[in-house]
Structure formats: structure tokens, C-alpha cells
Amino acid sequence: MKARKRQQGFNNGFRPAIWLGRHGQALFSSLGRLWRRPLGSFMTLLVLGIAIALPLGLHLLVNNLQQLAAQWDSGASISVFLKESAGEKAAKTLLNALQAKENIREVRHISPQQAMEEFRQYSDFASALELLDDNPLPHVLLVYPRDAKISAQDLQDFLRELENRPEVELALADLQWVERFQGITRILQRAALVLALLLSLAVLLIIGNTIRLEIQGRRDEIGIIKLVGGSDAFIRRPFLYEGFWYGLFGSLIAIALIFVSALALQDPVSHLAALYQSNFRLSGLAMTTVFSVIGISILLGILGAWIAVRQHLGEMELD
């Protein structure tokens, strides 16, 4: 008789208040189970946090390298040497024409006098320069493309365009440096993607195995629930919420690890940048990245729990 009443209770129609109550109860009861075994739960969450933090840290490294390339003067810069016959007026005219282009971020003019002063200051030939009758250095324009990640081919085409101008003697850019830096950045981006996929699988397996052990420990309880008419959805619900908590807390631990690591590296990186006359500072995670990591981790936790419960419920049906 009692079993029949419970069966009728399980078969009642959808009622929002009852549905929310059951889900709320499953949500907080699953959190309570994690709290009742703090050491085991903390160790599992720490492993999950480290697994999530590794690709996240590599992603942050790539972002900071790209920002560094955008700030670094020796990036995809172009040195335009004007002909000896080109004077101040020709240099200003070319400077204005280049500044009007949308694909150029900045143009700096270095006059022969400025170039001579810099050469005298940073070289050991100051006394020898006094013997020169006139200044042999030409006008120079330093051109910085707007796109810091400009491809080597586009940069080469722009060099040809500059050299075709009548007042330009030579246009140079460190194409090898650009190609190498962009190649390293692409490798790191691909490595971050591969690492994220592999460790996502690891997160899925860790959570699935943890839920599997939880199911085995509650096998008799699950058998009684099925005996009195409990549906698979009713049995599955608390385990799915447990996977939810694992994904949520694991991602929060990963974000905290990245934050602490970035904070620890901030001063050494700033000191190193200052030695190169740069104001570069490590940037943290964007909010979109933070929410994306949390969302993906929660989905992986729920998916791992769902796979584990589905497998074991199938085995219990066979038994």
C-alpha cells in the first residue's frame, strides 16, 4: 500500500512548486555530501582546478605576448630611408601621406640632426664624428602598422609600395623577427587549444570516476529507491548537481590559481619591462573568459556525472 502511494506520488503531473522544491533539495543535499567529506572533496577539486588552470594559463600567456608585440617598438616597424636629395619638406609631405592611411598606426620622423645625436650618444665614435665636414645621414621615417599581427607577406607588399615612391631610397623591416614571433604565437595558440581539449577530457574522467565511486557507495540506497518506484530522473538528479558543484568549484579554484600566479609575476615582469623602457604590465583574465571557463567547467561536470549515472543505472537494470 505504501509502495503504491509512493508510486502515485512519483507519477503526479508537473507542478512548478514541487519541481523547484525537489531540485532545490537535490542541489543543497549534494553540496552537503561534499561538505561531509572535506578532505576528499578538496583533493578532487584541487586536481580539477590545476587541470583547468593549465590551458587557461597558456591562453593568458598568449594574450600577453600579443599585447607585448603591439607595444614593442621593434615589432612590425618599418624604417623608411629617404634619398639624400630629399629635404625637410619632402619628409613632411611623405609623413602626412602615410599618416592618412588607415592601416598605419603611427609615423615618426627622425631628422638627420636627431639621428646624428642618437648615434653620437649610443655609439663609441663620438670623437670620430667631429671630423666629418657635413652630416651624411638622411631623413628617416619610422612607420608602425595598425595591425601588430600583420603577416610577413602583407608587410613585404607594403615595403615594395614604399620603395616605389620617388623620394624613398630604401625601406626595411625585420621580416624574420615578425615571422618567428608570429610562428611562436601560433604554436602557443594551438598548444593551448590541444591542452584544453585533453584536460577537458581529463576533467570529464575525474568527475565521472568520482561520481561512479559515489554511486557504488550508495548502491543499496539506489536499489531501494528503484524498488519503491523512483524514476531514473529522480535518482540521477542529485548526482548531476554534484557534478555541477565539482565543475563550479574546480573552475573557481583554477581562476584563483591564475590570479595568484599573475600577481606573483607582476613585479618581476614590470621590472624587466622597465629595463627595456616599456610600461608593459601583465593583463589578467577578461570577464568573458572567466564566465566561459566557469560555464564550460559546469557543463563538463554535469556531463561526466550524467555518463557515470547512466552507465551504472544500465548495469543495475541488467542485474
Domains and CATH numbers, the chain: 16-70+181-318 (no CATH), 76-173 (3.30.70.3040)
The pLDDT of residue 291 is 94
Per-position pLDDT tens, the chain of length 319: 444 444 444 445 557 766 566 666 666 667 777 787 888 788 888 999 999 999 999 889 888 887 776 665 445 678 888 887 788 888 888 888 888 888 888 888 888 788 777 777 666 665 655 656 676 778 888 888 877 666 767 778 888 888 888 888 888 876 667 677 777 888 888 888 899 899 999 998 898 888 888 887 777 777 777 777 666 677 778 888 888 999 999 999 999 999 999 999 888 888 887 777 677 788 888 899 999 999 999 999 999 888 888 877 766 554 5
Side by side, which strands form the sheet with 104-110? 104-110, 140-145, 78-82, 168-173
The pLDDT of residue 250 is 92
Tell me which DSSP letter residue 83 carries.
P
pTM: 0.66
Question: Could you write out the DSSP letters of every residue in 160-214?
Answer: HHHHTSTTEEEEEE-HHHHHHHHHHHHHHHHHHHHHHHHHHHHHHHHHHHHHHHH
Contact assessment for residue 163 and residue 171, using Cβ atoms and an 8 Å cutoff = yes
The pLDDT of residue 7 is 47
Q: How many Cα atoms occupy the beta-carbon half-sphere of 119 within 13 Å?
A: 16
The pLDDT of residue 51 is 92
